[in-house]
Amino acid sequence: MNASLHPFTRENWPIAVCMHGFAPIAADGSRLHDASGESWDAMFRQIARLGFTAVEIADSHIRPADLSPTRRAELAAIANSHGVELLSVHVQRQSVIQPGRGEQNLAYAHRAIDAAAELGMRVFSTGLHQPFTEAQRAALWFWTAQGPVDPDDAETRALAVRRLRELGEHAGSVGLPMSLEMYEDTYLGTADSAVRLIEEIGLDNVGLNPDIGNLVRLHRPIEDWREMHEKTLPYANYWHVKNYMRDEAGDGTWQTAVPTSLELGLINYRAMVAHAVEVGFRGPFLMEQYGGDSLGVCASNRDYLRTLLPDSTDA
């Protein structure tokens, strides 16, 4: 590995934290999106105390596109005061092909791109997953209940390609990469389908977020995680990383999974990160964790991940 061709090392590779450790709606019913500057300050103080210097703003918590310019500036100023970069915005469960809302979601995504550019973010992240079903909201772990399914329909898939290409062109025009998150039962739900979607979109700034943890956790048969990474990592430009303990019966009659740390789960991130770097991955990482002390686990995972990244002396 030639260090001169390598923009990042383990010391400075961008690693952001997710917002799962913060409640999107407080006990009094108020939304984090509408919270006071003091509340935002407390959030960024926690992020900084754990040693994070970057955060992904998930629109489940704060929607930069729907903040006034004044409040966007306030958000950036508060983050900056704690040395925390607003690295990316993640538009989730706002599919551009969601029945009855696709065009509205497309317009919202365009506004999110403009907001991300205004805030100096590095990545616009989205996908094709849709809002939770009632069953998913009622489940202990939402991935154990069936969610919406993209139709096996060439016309709908072509619509997804056209709308995502439109967003990718917009992102590219303001200097942003766009990353599409892998997620079950969407056109990004298998390695082959996800890669084909990127190729159909056909833009250099549009790549994959190979969040294969989303698939490893499913209580159903899945593709081999090694094969999924092998196919998708060459297309990756941003990476949500998390891991799950997974067990399944030899006869295929049952499968189960629960969250754990990067080091202990089914996915061997030591091997996968090395392979990703080898095939050219240079994007930021996002630490993600469901359940328990999400922030604490994300911080431990970050420290582990840094041991897997190349040194400045690697050649």
C-alpha closest to that of 214 among 182, 177, 178: 182
pLDDT above 60 (res 2): no
Contact 66, 110 (CB under 8 A): no
Span 169-218, pLDDT tens digits: 999 999 999 999 999 999 999 999 999 999 999 999 999 999 999 999 99
Q: Which two tokens stand for residue 274?
A: 């090395």
Rounded to the nearest angstrom, the gap between the alpha carbon of residue 215 and the centroid of all alpha carbons in its chain is 13
Contact 123, 179 (CB under 8 A): yes
Span 276-306, pLDDT tens digits: 999 999 999 999 999 999 999 999 999 999 9
Contact 244, 216 (CB under 8 A): yes
| 3-state SS class at 159 | helix
Please enumerate in sequence order all residues whose Cβ is within 8 A of that of 20, keeping only pairs 6 or more positions apart, or say none.
288, 289, 290, 294
Give the mean pLDDT of 221-236. Answer: 98
**Domains located in the chain, CATH noted:** 3-308 (3.20.20.150)
User: In whole angstroms, what is the distance from residue 261 CA to residue 187 CA?
Assistant: 28
Element (H, E) at 280: none
Locate tokens 């139709």: which residue?
151
Contact 126, 137 (CB under 8 A): no
Give the mean pLDDT of 60-89. Answer: 98
Q: Sheet containing 178-181: give its strands across.
A: 206-209, 178-181, 123-126, 85-90, 54-58, 15-17, 285-287, 239-241
Percent of the chain residues past pLDDT 70, beyond the cut: 97
pLDDT above 60 (res 62): yes
Name the average pLDDT for the chain. 96
